[in-house]
Amino acid sequence: MSRMTPIMFGPASRQLFGVFHPAEASESAAGGTAVLLCPPFGQEGLRTHRFFKVLAERLSRSGIATLRFDFYGSGDSPGEEAEGELDGWRRDLCSAHEELRRRAPGASIVWIGARLGATVAVLAARGGRCDPVRLVLWEPVIDGRGYARLLREQHVAAIDTTFCIPDLAWRRSLLQEPEAMPAEALGTVLSPALRAQLAALVPESLPLTALHDTLVLAEPDDERTAQWAADQQSRHMPVRLAYFSHQLDWTSDPYPNSAMVPADALNRLQGALHE
């Protein structure tokens, strides 16, 4: 069983909860690589919580110190869901980066971000306040309106299947205003600030920088992400796209009441550190 330490960190006015997994193999935390895990948003984060816990444990056993954390207003961190928005989460990520640097001095820090967590990683790295040596972006959200629409559709579908008599008002609203930004999706509140930020989130608003290497993992049929990566390459950014199909469904649990996680996805992310 790998060791792990629950911690609170960050400024007093914006404390965050995290779990630190120290390096356990020959590579000590005083060198080598350390990983900061940037989780998805809302229900996607809940569905993948155990996945990222298992990934952190595997990385720790292989000699890679790892920190996983909850953004402010989510998970076990303080704050209300209604306070969640991208600018604050970008600062949270940098606070987590500094905490990992303190606990793994001398290590080269890699960020692994999934879905909206990957988007926040792009925004945080671009700000220049924190300096990862590499980004691994797993299916980043680059189309905010499309992402919000997906969450809303999944929310309505869940209501349809959850209740004996579905509330048809949700379905009618979806049909009448398919592009409307949801105030709630799959049990998570989207703050007014977050809804506005998602409405403005387009591929052109997410330029990468040349300060670090970037690996983008996308589904084979995700043409929009592939085009975004190609656009970054045309700007001579050090970015590579790799296609990756997996069993993980971001918004539903394929293994209810089970501790199983997709081994293919674990292996792919762990292998991404050595490419």
Cβ-count burial of 2 within 10 angstroms (0-12 exposed, 13-18 middle, 19+ buried)? middle
**pLDDT at 161 (0 to 100):** 72
Provide the whole-model pTM: 0.88
pLDDT tens digits, 140-186: 999 999 998 888 888 777 777 776 666 666 667 766 776 667 778 87
Give the strands of the sheet with 33-38, arranged side by side: 5-9, 16-21, 65-69, 33-38, 108-114, 134-138, 213-218, 239-243
Q: Taking each helix axis as running N to C, give the angle between helix 168-176 and helix 144-162, from 0 to 180 degrees, rounded to the nearest 10.
A: 160
Q: Above 70 in pLDDT, residue 121?
A: yes
Extract the tokens encoding 265: 């996805």
Q: Which helix (H) or strand (E) holds 230?
A: helix 223-234
User: How far is it, in rounded angstroms, from Cα 123 to Cα 201?
Assistant: 11
Alpha-helix runs per DSSP H in 14-140: 42-47, 49-61, 86-103, 116-127
pLDDT tens digits, 65-109: 999 999 999 999 999 999 999 999 999 999 999 999 999 999 999
Domains of the chain: 5-143+201-272 (3.40.50.1820), 144-191 (no CATH)
User: How far is it, in rounded angstroms, from Cα 199 to Cα 191?
Assistant: 12
The 3-state secondary structure of 153-211, one letter per residue: HHHHHHHHHHCCCCCHHHHHHHHHCCCCCCCEECCEECCHHHHHHHHHCCHHHCCCCCC
**Residue among 80, 64, 58, 75 at smallest CA distance from 18:** 75
Over range 114-129, report the average pLDDT: 92
Q: Which helix (H) or strand (E) holds 271?
A: helix 263-272
pLDDT tens digits, 15-71: 999 999 999 865 444 569 999 999 999 988 888 888 999 999 999 999 999 999 999
User: How far is it, in rounded angstroms, from Cα 37 to Cα 52?
Assistant: 8
**Residue among 166, 193, 169 at smallest CA distance from 181:** 193
* Pairing assessment for the beta strands 134-138 and 65-69 based on DSSP bridges: unpaired
**pLDDT at 29 (0 to 100):** 43
Q: Which amino acid is at 246?
A: H
The 3-state secondary structure of 117-162, one letter per residue: HHHHHHHHHHHCCCCCCEEEEECCCCCHHHHHHHHHHHHHHHHHHH
